[in-house]
Structure 1
Amino acid sequence: MVMIGASHGWIATLKEDGIMRLQDDLNPVASDSDPKHIPLPPLVTLPHCQTQVVTNVAMSSSSPEHEDCVVAVKFLGPQLSLYGMFRIPGSGGNLIGSWDLHKHKKKPKIQRLQFKNLPELTKTKRELLHSCCTSQHLVESTTTDETFLVRWYRKATSSGVVKMKTKAAMVFKLDEEGNAVYTEDIGHLCIFLSKSEPFCVPANSIPGMCPNIVDLFDFDESATFGLDESSLFSYSHTYPAPYHIPPQTILD
C-alpha cells in the first residue's frame, strides 16, 4: 500500500489491486478507536494514459462523506479522475436516481417525485403535450442551492426534412422530500439546456440575458421559453455545435 496524497486531513492510499482508499488518519477530530477507511470505485485508465503514478489528490470539502464532496485525482500525464455523488432523472421524470459512488455502486438510491401545483390545461394544450417527445433534465442552481426538473416538449415537423420543434417547457422545483412543485417563477435565474450539461445561473451573469427563462439549443433549433407568460420564441436553423457554455471566470 502506497500513500499517494492527502487533503483535509484524509490520507489517500493506493494498493496493488488498483483501489484507492481514503483514511482519516490526519483528521484531528477523527476517532482513534474507530478510524474510517473509504474505498473508491476502481480506477479506469483512459487511452494513452496511466493510473499507477499519482501526482496529487484533492477534496472539495472536509469529508468525502459529504453529499456534495468531489475527490479529484491527478495522474502523471493527461488523466484527471473525479469521484462524487450525482443524480439523474429516470425515464418519464417520475424517479430520481442518486449514486454515491462508494455506497451505491450496485444499487442506487431511488426517490419517487410527487408532482404538485400542476397547471390547469385546456384540452387542446393537453393533447398537444401528450403528442410531443418529452425529455427530462435535472438542473441545479449553485447560487441559490435549488434543484429544478425541466420538461422539454418537442414535436417533429410535418413537412420537408423531419426536424424537432419546441412546443413548450415546464419547470418543477424539487425539495428533499421528493416534492416537485410546478413553478412559473425562478426569480432572477435562467436555465440553459443544450447538448452539453444543463446549468442554471443568475441572468445578470450573462450580458443581455433576461431572467425567468429557459434557453433551449439543439442541432436544428434555438428557442427561448418565458416562464411567467409561457411565451415561446423559436428559430429553426442548422447548428453544428449546439452547446451552451456556463459563464467563466477570467483570470488576469
Structure 2
Amino acid sequence: MVRRDGDMIPFDLDSPYDFMEAPELIGSTNGWITSLVDGRVCLYTHRGKRPDHERIWLPALESLPLCQAQVVTNVAMSSSSPEEEYRVVAVKFLGPQLSISQLISRRHAQVEVEGIHIRISNPCFFSSPVMYSEKEDMFRIVGSGGHLVGSWDLRKHKDTPKIQRLQFQNLPEMSKAKRELLYSCNTSEHLVESRTTGETFMVKWYKRTSKTIERMETKALMVFKIDEEGNAVYTQDIGDLCIFLTMTESFCFPACSVRHMRPSRVKIMDVDEITIVDLAAQKWN
C-alpha cells in the first residue's frame, strides 16, 4: 500500500504489479487501487497488504452536457485510512468534467451522502490530473503550462474554483541547445504536497520519444516551490524530501522513510520507464 509521508512508515518499493495488467485499471490514490468497472469507479485495497480487502464503489458515472465520463485521467482521495469517518473522492475525466463524492463510514458500511459533477470552464485544466491538498482541504488541479492552479471543494468552491496565479522565479540560465531540447518535449505539470513540512511543489516533466526505440523517456525535470502568494521558485534542493511521479498520482515523502531513496531525488514510475532523477545533478547550460 502506498503511504503518505505523514505516516512515517518505511515505504515498500515492491509494487504489486499483478494487478497492473487489468484493462479496467485506472491507477492508485493514497494507497488504494482504482478501477473503472461497468460505468462505476471502484477503490479497493490490495489483497497482499490487507486481508480484509475493503472495496468502495462510487455512484454510477454521469456525463454532463458537452462532457464525457468514460475516459478517466485519475482519482484522488482525501484519506487512506478505512477508519476515517469522513472521506472525499474526486474523479477527474479527460476534458471538462470533475466529479466529487463525499463518503461517510458507519460501522464499516460506505454511504454516499453527496455527489456533485462540475463542468470546468477553463480549457487549461482539461488534461491535467487532480490531487488532494490536506493543507487546503480542497482538490487542486494545475493548468497546462503551470501558470494557474484551480481548487475545488463541496462547500464554497464547488461552482466557482479558487484560482491561484503562479509567478515563476529563479529560473535557471539555459544554453540554446537545452532550450531547443525542452521546446521539443511533451510537457506535463504535477502538484505534490508534503504532509510533513506543509510545502507544495510543482514538477514540470519533460519527455520525448527515444531515438532508438518507440517509447517516451524523461529529458528533464523542473521543480518549483509554491507559496501562498503564488510565487513559484525554481529549486534543485527540496530538503530531506523525495518525490514520486507515477502514471496517475504524484506524492512526496521524507527520504529517511523511503528505502533506497536520497533527499532531493525524484523517482519516476511511468509506462515506459522507471528511473530516479537527482535534481542537483541536472545541468542547464
TM surpasses 0.5: yes
Name the SS of the counterpart of 1:107 in structure 2: coil
Residue of structure 1 equivalent to 2:164 = 111
1:58 aligns with 2:85: yes
Q: State the alpha-carbon separation in 2 of the partners of residues 104 and 136 from structure 1.
A: 22
Q: State the alpha-carbon separation in 1 of the partners of residues 113 and 239 from structure 2.
A: 32
1:121 aligns with 2:174: yes
Residue of structure 1 equivalent to 2:59 = 45
1:196 aligns with 2:210: no
Residue of structure 2 equivalent to 1:164 = 216
Q: Report the RMSD for the aligned CA atoms in angstroms.
A: 2.8
Of residues 204-213 and 139-148 in structure 1, the stretch that sits farther from structure 2 once superposed is: 204-213
Residue of structure 2 equivalent to 1:143 = 196
Residue of structure 1 equivalent to 2:228 = 176
* CA displacement 1:87-138 (0-9 Å, x = unmatched): 1101111100011221122211111100000000000001101110011000
Q: State the alpha-carbon separation in 2 of the partners of residues 177 and 137 from structure 1.
A: 19
Change (3 A) 1:187 1:80: farther
Specify the code of the residue in structure 1 equivalent to 2:176.
K
Identity of paired residues, percent?
A: 54
Name the SS of the counterpart of 1:204 in structure 2: helix
Deviation at 1:57, TM superposition (A): 8.2
Residue of structure 1 equivalent to 2:237 = 185
Change (3 A) 1:101 1:166: same
1:223 aligns with 2:275: yes
Name the SS of the counterpart of 2:262 in structure 1: coil
Change (3 A) 1:78 1:46: farther
* CA displacement 1:2-53 (0-9 Å, x = unmatched): xxxxxxxxxxxxxxxxxxxxxxxxxxxxxxxxxxxxxxxxxx6359xxxxxx
Structure with larger Rg = 1
Q: State the alpha-carbon separation in 2 of the partners of residues 194 and 171 from structure 1.
A: 16
Moved over 6 A (4+): none
TM-score normalised over the length of structure 2? 0.54
Between Structure 1 and Structure 2, how many residues are aligned? 170
Contact 2:86/2:105, CA 8 A, preserved across alignment: no
Q: State the alpha-carbon separation in 2 of the partners of residues 103 and 79 from structure 1.
A: 25
Contact 1:189/1:201, CA 8 A, preserved across alignment: yes
Name the SS of the counterpart of 2:268 in structure 1: strand
Deviation at 1:196, TM superposition (A): 3.3
Which consecutive unaligned segments of at least 5 residues does structure 2 have?
1-57, 62-82, 88-101, 115-136
Residue of structure 2 equivalent to 1:236 = none
Deviation at 1:146, TM superposition (A): 0.1
Deviation at 1:224, TM superposition (A): 1.2
Change (3 A) 1:94 1:82: farther
